Structure 1
């Protein structure tokens, strides 16, 4: 693969920047993983699939990528890990399980779901509970640097002190003065010097099961601390890419930057990337509001939101038809349109092996291939890439109908490029065997209906005959009556 000029939208600078890795030929990427107290929903999946696309493309370009994605299993508190209930403990009480049984159950669900989407596993998948010692060491270093203080067994990051020599809020664009002016004092924050200070270590209440010994108290780490500990341990104090959902920009990622700079005296990340949200019925998809749909509910069709079931490949394809930084709304109509588009791409891929070649090409395959790379090099622009892949569908159909010609060399380049981007980069699955089996089942069912229709016509029950034909037509199956009997075709 020739060197590519890749541009990434950096949330820190709020602009596209030419990508230059810290170490030539190698990339370190960290993505905030799931908090495993419930089934992963599609909004979470979109974020992880967006970074699976980034991971795949960087590998395709020839980079050696170390992709770290954590599992949050430490049982932090709600409300940014400061107060409220611990969702893992809450679920443990509800299901009458040990907290780590809850963690195991939903970690397995997460892995199973991502495998259905054909997402690559990360290079390293560390857990928060597996890195308590590292988190305690970071707290000790931040205290030593003068940017944290202990109160009643808890340790808090001193945001005001940090802001005297650094800039708290530079990722989200917030000014500390405005945050202080707009914050009312909460009873749960009485141990803090300032409402903006955030917990590095929390003393555990008697009912809190997940707890560890520390120099300050038996307790548990603050929510933001784990990602700083794990990202720097496996990628170094300064690494290339940190990703996550848009909702993590503040306070989570803002606090990560502050912790790392206070501890290591360097900016931790060169390129901050944020995937946008999925909406359902025009509202953010969220577990807390109940406005969400689970992946398996989509795959089985067992939901009250969509008109039918959609496969993991179609669902993934639908997500990639929007740029990762764009809001994407789920609807049956949009998914059905994606399904038709997906099927056209797969049909064209299968048809390529049947095409005839000529001595010369009337198509500029090299230029088309270049446009595919240009799309992905422009901040991983998957919708433009997919538009280019549909252009290849037009090529295939034109060659098949003998309206265009293609040389053997160009046909091989077309096949290779389609394979690279459909399966290696987008990570779509071409389940030919599964599709074939489904097609055989569908054909058998339609043949049975044709027999019932022929019987109705023989009995002069034309109302039933017309009903079978019309009902099939509404489902996209057209019956054709000819002298040799009735055949059917599936309309796109």
Structure 2
């Protein structure tokens, strides 16, 4: 018997605006599609949070015994700047600025994306299709939508007719927007746009002579619209109707709204049963943005090479920090929050280590079976990782009491605890133990922490010459020590 047969999972469906009991189309099998990155720059930490949320969801489904086909695409055809209908392709712009071929840009940042996700201990998706590898499928969908009267061609470009579609369908049902309101709030620029309505979106754009990324089509050389690739790839690999479509909250409109419209216009029915959206990551209470300097890359956190944090943090500490918030809630990154997460992560790992050496007794006041179901109840309530982590620390408390001789644990309960904790901490939350990590940044942290302790011992013994020597020689190597109320921290410059 698979675990999912004894667990009732509820998910928050953005389409209905409420939690619903999750029932896959085919028992024991799940099809899940998540919008992947546009590979024209280093992967953003906020994007990592979204992908991490769905990695956790993927892991939990597998933990329950489901067979999951998880599709996460790579957008390598490029979005237009600011995701507009007109302007310069993001990938082509980067290629022009750096005097590279567009596919060199794609390759460089796809490798970066995979490297960062590997450090965060992501499971690879079942399929990772690219937009450029599915141009033919996108053209076929456009032909189908044109044939059914929901699109029109203008000067080599093809646009989706939103007003025509809305006569028999509901455009805006995912985001809760009404087409009448959208039209009322739009300023029409007469004779400056070839679209029938400002709400219409591009299925295919004619490539101007200077446009690098272009493909032949029945309407002339051009490139597909941003929204079309996900419709083509999700339905190709998961079918015309599939279980879950995920992505960041920022994609709900227009991207996911347009995906629904395209699929309904082409196939005649809604493509997705459950829409799941992960929320944004802020930093120090403000939106993360390169322009304001309120921004940090994952690699800069791992090395400590930044001016925002006091030290380097292991990928598993950052992952633990992200898992402490529900995936649908806004999460604020700060130095204090990461330091607190590091302490929590260390407590968890220390408890697991201590559990191995616990002496067993004849009785235990800790109800392992009840606690186990409470862990599942947390995850079954729309993947509530903060509650799950709180339950993990209930077990940590009991382990510490047993270690101190204030509680006892039976052989059977000890064995069960080991299996359950390992299952949730490593398989579901995706954390790694300290012994599994061993990155250069971790080794650096260990060496510097040792030197900080030696410096503290020297200062306590009023050996200021040695204390200053440690500080100054570390500074010469680009490692700055910062003394504060909570002790000494370091940063790498």
> What is the TM-score of this pair, normalised by structure 1?
0.91
* 2:141 counterpart residue number: 138
* Residue of 26, 37, 41 corresponding to 1:38: 41
Secondary structure (helix, strand or coil) at the match of 1:138 reads helix
- Measure, in 1, the Cα distance between the counterparts of 2:443 and 2:89: 46
Change (3 A) 1:201 1:421: same
The reply to whether residue 72 of structure 1 matches residue 78 of structure 2 is no
- 8 Å CA contact retained: 1:81, 1:223: no
Change (3 A) 1:121 1:187: farther
* 1:219 counterpart residue number: 222
Equivalenced residue count is 472
Deviations 1:170-222 (A, max 9, x none): 00000000000000124796111000000000000111010000001100000
Is the deviation greater in 197-206 or in 74-83?
74-83
* 1:480 counterpart residue number: none
Deviations 1:61-117 (A, max 9, x none): 000000000000012312434112211011101111000000000000000000000
1:164-175 superposed matches below 5 A: 164-175=167-178
Secondary structure (helix, strand or coil) at the match of 2:171 reads coil
* Residue of 280, 284, 287 corresponding to 1:281: 284
* 2:121 counterpart residue number: 118
Secondary structure (helix, strand or coil) at the match of 1:389 reads helix
Secondary structure (helix, strand or coil) at the match of 2:220 reads coil
* 2:474 counterpart residue number: none
Change (3 A) 1:197 1:443: closer
The reply to whether residue 268 of structure 1 matches residue 271 of structure 2 is yes
* 1:307 counterpart residue number: 310
1:212-251 superposed matches below 5 A: 212-251=215-254
* 1:412 counterpart residue number: 415
- 8 Å CA contact retained: 1:132, 1:221: yes
Deviation at 1:437, TM superposition (A): 6.1
Change (3 A) 1:158 1:287: farther
Secondary structure (helix, strand or coil) at the match of 2:313 reads coil
- 8 Å CA contact retained: 2:456, 2:467: no
The reply to whether residue 334 of structure 1 matches residue 340 of structure 2 is no
Secondary structure (helix, strand or coil) at the match of 2:274 reads strand
- 8 Å CA contact retained: 2:458, 2:467: no
- Measure, in 2, the Cα distance between the counterparts of 1:91 and 1:390: 46
Change (3 A) 1:187 1:464: farther
Deviations 1:6-60 (A, max 9, x none): 0000000000000000111000000000000000010010000000000000000
- 8 Å CA contact retained: 2:349, 2:434: no
* 1:12 counterpart residue number: 15
Q: Any unmatched runs of 5+ in structure 2? A: 471-481, 489-493
- 8 Å CA contact retained: 2:368, 2:413: yes
* 1:384 counterpart residue number: 387
1:295-444 superposed matches below 5 A: 295-432=298-435, 441=447
Deviation at 1:474, TM superposition (A): 5.3
> What is the TM-score of this pair, normalised by structure 2?
0.91
Change (3 A) 1:401 1:419: same
Deviations 1:358-415 (A, max 9, x none): 1222211111111110000000000000011111110100111121111111111111
* 2:111 counterpart residue number: 108
Q: Any unmatched runs of 5+ in structure 1? A: 478-492
The reply to whether residue 82 of structure 1 matches residue 88 of structure 2 is no
